[in-house]
DNA sequence: ACCGCCTTGTGTATCGTTCTACTAGAACGT
DNA sequence: ACGTTCTAGTAGAACGATACACAAGGCGGT
């Protein structure tokens, strides 16, 4: 009886009008008489026609009503990572206001490690039916980014790039301030626990910053500038942003000799792991060892963590607006970050009690 | 020079082969010689061709590589609400494994209140270029759900429905157990703070359960069954799931007379708000007033909250697999929930000290 | 020489819309 | 009567790919 799923044509011939008219009934209701429009909708309902096909409509009209999201945080962790969840929430506000949907695409950040996964994310971007992309923290040259550029999709990045519109947070400047603050407290031996594209669970000292996530890299640079020659910085790459990895990494650092007097983490999530490690060893944050984070997630205040506050949600909102709100024409917006000092930092312990 | 964005045809004529061959180069690389394939890719790169157009491909092939997500939790809160974030994380695991993307669509849960918003979400579902939909907690009859059904999209629901595949959690049974547990403790006057489709900030006593979210409704029913005739239940609808609203609602309840001996919340997020209200009034949870939640989010354990543990992440995973993994053929899966008793509950205070 | 089969590649119909340009007729002012 | 403008609707060409059936050539077996 029913010959496949009905299309515009089916409805058109059932009603006895042209396909264009049926199309207009859905898209320009004011361009045809109310009577006919109702007749069309009635027949459509009767035939079980659910409105114009989405793919065909996108193909012909060139619009899709969805924007893509590409983030360093791997999909399953995006929702539980406080930074990323806040960012997405800000973005979602704007997406909702503009009656769009958001397409989250899987992304392999670990370029070197998993070629098949990288290929998968390239495919995902290639096949994504979207009007534009918000790109949070992907390195220049990432194949998925290349596809976005090649496709000519409007894009907004959170990484400085003269070829793209972008929303930046003054990461590096804030980290510099943090470095100066620690230097003033007399810290001479600082360890940085940095998020990297290594497998979760990986913990290794690194000399260069190549495997670090872009944001971690900026923070390391800023920290070095702020500390200047006051302190030596050792860098531990500890996989993506999981508290557990930071706890283990900090445990090793704290048992090592000489013990760093300050541990800087590239995120609050990491810093909370560091605090856990201190507690296990009965060390007092701010007195025995200073600890700092980044982001100022809600849990940071509760833990008394010195950190750098960033307008994460606002960043999400602005990136969304750059894509969806034509009245926002800026090419490049810089948001400032702010050092928030709490009890987890203090003067470096004066001397090594062991000597 | 360059005549628009290049298409398959452009590349085909540049290389001197048919369009079908270029298409094959991308989709069935093994069906043509390596030499030719390379030549095609080289030319494509040269012309700035970014691979087959996503919309056209979806139209012709009928596949899109994305699944839709429809949730009662409004988009901006989806990421910060612990229940929803966990659910999405589980779903995302599976989506990533199957190399799909996920399309989050805005949804107005408040059917009655905002016709324009409802219309917007209907449009979003209509225009969504997806292969299937995961639907979490939407009521039968919601217009957006109707569109999904009409479009004939494969769907998985978390609400019992003989016409759809579904993954259920034994909400009601667990709530019944909770009711019996409270009854055994001698509670005679129980207040339920329930998530509703009211505006955030709304707090009102309700007689019927019509405005409650579907999950809240089930929990109320179970609770009533478990308490049976042992206690009277008053229901407060407190808007969507925000701790702050529950704090205010609980404050009113606790200052009222007679004061309920137990406050049941339809989620842990709510319950944490209730605990905050107790603290403000110097009341001791489990001694002066018993408090229970639902979900067993991480913060619940820390707060000593009696709650019902649900396999939220697993539910997300299973719903994803039902859509994407052909080897999972069940039509209906029921997951069990478990009562977790902690210090926030105890015997009802023996008598009203005022008398 | 002949058959079948594999490999590599080709034409072309088709997916279901929206867009552009156009028309028939009514309404209207002069 | 005539030109203009408006309304309600139409015809047919895109949009950019993939599916399907088929063809040319090489090659091995009998």
DSSP assignment of A124-169 equals HHHH---S-EEEESPPTT-HHHHHHHHHT--EEESS--TTSEEEEE
pLDDT single digits (tens) B112-140:
667 888 889 999 999 999 999 999 999 89
Rounded to whole angstroms, how far apart are CA atoms B252 and B297?
25
Q: Which residue has the higher pLDDT, A104 or A352?
A: A104
> Smallest Cα–C1' distance to nucleotide D12: which residue has it?
A20
- Evaluate whether B294 touches B310 at the Cβ level (below 8 Å): yes
- Evaluate whether B90 touches B320 at the Cβ level (below 8 Å): yes
Residue A354 has pLDDT above 90, yes or no: no
Q: Closest Cα of chain A to B84: distance in Å?
A: 9
Q: Closest Cα of chain A to B317: distance in Å?
A: 11
Residue A339 has pLDDT above 80, yes or no: yes
Which residue on chain A is closest to B61 by alpha carbon?
A: A55
Minimum-distance nucleotide, CA of A9 to C1'? C16
Among candidates A345, B170, A110, A262, which has minimal Cα distance to B178?
B170
Check CB contact under 8 Å for B101 and A103.
yes
Q: Closest Cα of chain A to B184: distance in Å?
A: 37
How many CB atoms are closer than 10 A to CB A256?
11
Once rounded to an integer, what is the mean pLDDT over residues A225-244? 93
- Provide the pLDDT for residue A108: 85
Least confident of A23-27, A38-42, A348-352, B148-152: A348-352
- Provide the pLDDT for residue B257: 86
A55 to chain B: which residues are within 8 Å by CB? 55, 58-59, 64, 129
Among candidates A298, A270, A297, A271, which has minimal Cα distance to A286?
A271
Q: What is the pTM of this model?
A: 0.93
DSSP B31: G
A106 to chain B: which residues are within 8 Å by CB? 95-96, 99-101
Residue A109 has pLDDT above 80, yes or no: no
Rounded to whole angstroms, how far apart are CA atoms A174 and A340?
10
Rounded to whole angstroms, how far apart are CA atoms A15 and A31?
17
Residues 6+ apart with CB under 8 A from B53: A59, B7
Once rounded to an integer, what is the mean pLDDT over residues A225-237? 94
Residues 6+ apart with CB under 8 A from A165: A155, A156, A157, A322, A330, A331, A332
How many CB atoms are closer than 10 A to CB A299?
17
Helices (H), chain A: 8-15, 19-27, 34-47, 54-61, 75-78, 82-97, 115-127, 143-151, 171-184, 214-227, 243-255, 268-280, 298-302, 312-324
Rounded to whole angstroms, how far apart are CA atoms A332 and A159?
10
Quick one: residue A348, left, alpha or beta (phi over 0 = left, psi -120 to 50 = alpha)?
A: beta
- Read off the pLDDT band of A351 (50, 70, 90): low
Check CB contact under 8 Å for A129 and B101.
no
- Provide the pLDDT for residue B85: 96
- Evaluate whether A103 touches B66 at the Cβ level (below 8 Å): yes
Rounded to whole angstroms, how far apart are CA atoms A235 and A210?
12
Provide the terminal-to-terminal Cα distance of chain A, rounded to the nearest Å: 93
- Provide the pLDDT for residue B350: 74
Q: Please give the C-alpha separations between residue B187 and each of A227, B139, B251, B287, B349, in angstroms, as whole numbers.
A: 61, 32, 19, 12, 8
Which residue on chain A is closest to B98 by alpha carbon?
A: A120
- Provide the pLDDT for residue B111: 63
- Provide the pLDDT for residue A117: 84
A221: exposed, middle or buried (C-beta count within 10 Å: 0-12, 13-18, 19+)?
middle
Rounded to whole angstroms, how far apart are CA atoms A99 and B64?
21
| pLDDT, averaged across chain A | 93
Check CB contact under 8 Å for A104 and B86.
no
- Residue located via tokens 């302190």: A231
Residues 6+ apart with CB under 8 A from B162: none
- Read off the pLDDT band of A245 (50, 70, 90): very high
How many CB atoms are closer than 10 A to CB B152?
10
Go through chain B and tell me how many residues it has. Answer: 355
pLDDT single digits (tens) B208-266:
888 999 999 999 999 999 999 999 999 999 989 999 999 999 999 999 989 999 999 99
Rounded to whole angstroms, how far apart are CA atoms A113 and A125?
19
- Residue located via tokens 């923070």: A219
How many CB atoms are closer than 10 A to CB A23?
17
- Evaluate whether A68 touches A35 at the Cβ level (below 8 Å): no
Q: Please give the C-alpha separations between residue B8 and each of A222, B44, B47, B49, B125, in angstroms, as whole numbers.
A: 47, 9, 11, 8, 30
Residue A290 has pLDDT above 80, yes or no: yes
Q: Which residues of chain B have pLDDT under 50?
A: 1-2, 352-355
> Angle at Cα A226 formed by Cα A221 and Cα A227, nearest 5°?
100
Q: Closest Cα of chain B to A134: distance in Å?
A: 14
Residue A120 has pLDDT above 60, yes or no: yes
Minimum-distance nucleotide, CA of A27 to C1'? C18
pLDDT single digits (tens) A194-213:
999 888 889 999 988 888 99
Check CB contact under 8 Å for B129 and A54.
yes
Chain D nucleotides reached by a protein CB under 7 Å:
7-12, 14-21
Among candidates B84, B90, B341, which has minimal Cα distance to B213?
B84
Q: Please give the C-alpha separations between residue B171 and each of A202, A229, B216, B244, B307, in angstroms, as whole numbers.
A: 39, 60, 9, 24, 12
- Evaluate whether B101 touches A128 at the Cβ level (below 8 Å): yes
Q: Facing residues of B308 across strands?
A: B339
Helix (H) or strand (E) holding B43: helix B34-47
Tokens of B144: 């957006």
Q: Alpha-carbon dihedral of residues B146, B147, B153, B155, nearest 10 degrees?
A: -40
How many CB atoms are closer than 10 A to CB A337?
24
Residue A174 three-state SS: helix
Give percent of chain B above pLDDT 70: 96
- Provide the pLDDT for residue B189: 94
> Own/partner pairs for A158-161, CB < 8 Å, 24+ apart?
A158/A315, A158/A319, A159/A135, A159/A214
Residues 6+ apart with CB under 8 A from A220: A175, A192, A194, A209, A212, A233, A235, A266
- Interface probe with B: pick from A8, A56, A103, A244, most Cβ of B within 10 Å: A103
Least confident of A30-44, A284-298, B308-322: A30-44
Q: Facing residues of B101 across strands?
A: B66
| Phi, psi angles (nearest 5°) of residue B252 | -65, -45
Rounded to whole angstroms, how far apart are CA atoms A113 and A116?
9
DSSP A257: S
Quick one: residue B133, left, alpha or beta (phi over 0 = left, psi -120 to 50 = alpha)?
A: beta
Rounded to whole angstroms, how far apart are CA atoms A68 and B127?
15
Check CB contact under 8 Å for A80 and B86.
yes
Q: Please give the C-alpha separations between residue A309 and each of A297, A320, A340, in angstroms, as whole numbers.
A: 8, 21, 7
């Amino acid at each position: 009886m029913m010959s496949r799923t009905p299309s515009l044509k089916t409805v058109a011939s059932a009603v006895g009008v042209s396909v264009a008219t049926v199309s207009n009934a859905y898209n320009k209701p004011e361009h045809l008489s109310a009577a006919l429009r109702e007749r069309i909708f009635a027949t459509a309902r009767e035939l079980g026609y659910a409105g114009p096909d989405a793919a065909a409509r996108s193909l012909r009209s060139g619009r899709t009503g969805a924007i893509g999201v590409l983030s360093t945080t791997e999909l399953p962790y995006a929702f539980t990572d406080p930074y990323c969840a806040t960012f997405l929430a800000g973005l979602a506000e704007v997406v909702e206001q503009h009656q769009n949907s958001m397409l989250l695409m899987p992304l392999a950040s670990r370029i070197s490690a998993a070629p098949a996964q990288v290929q998968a994310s390239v495919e995902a971007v290639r096949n994504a039916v979207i009007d534009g992309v918000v790109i949070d923290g992907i390195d220049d040259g990432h194949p998925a980014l290349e596809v976005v550029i090649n496709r000519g999709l409007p894009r907004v990045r959170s990484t400085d790039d003269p070829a793209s519109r972008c929303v930046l947070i003054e990461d590096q400047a804030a980290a510099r301030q943090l470095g100066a603050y620690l230097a003033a407290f007399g810290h001479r031996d600082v360890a940085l626990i940095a998020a990297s594209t290594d497998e979760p669970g990986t913990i290794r000292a690194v000399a260069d910053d190549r495997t670090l996530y872009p944001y971690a890299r900026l923070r390391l640079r800023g920290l070095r500038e702020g500390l200047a020659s006051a302190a030596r910085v050792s860098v531990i790459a500890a996989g993506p942003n999981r508290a557990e990895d930071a706890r283990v990494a900090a445990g090793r650092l704290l048992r090592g000799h000489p013990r760093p007097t300050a541990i800087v983490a590239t995120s609050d999530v990491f810093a909370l792991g560091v605090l856990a490690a201190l507690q296990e060893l009965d060390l007092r944050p701010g007195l025995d060892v200073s600890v700092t984070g980044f982001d100022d997630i809600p849990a940071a205040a509760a833990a008394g963590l010195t950190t750098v506050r960033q307008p994460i949600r606002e960043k999400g909102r602005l990136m969304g607006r750059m894509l969806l709100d034509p009245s926002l024409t800026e090419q490049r917006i810089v948001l400032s970050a702010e050092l928030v000092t709490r009890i987890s930092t203090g003067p470096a312990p004066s001397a090594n009690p062991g000597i």
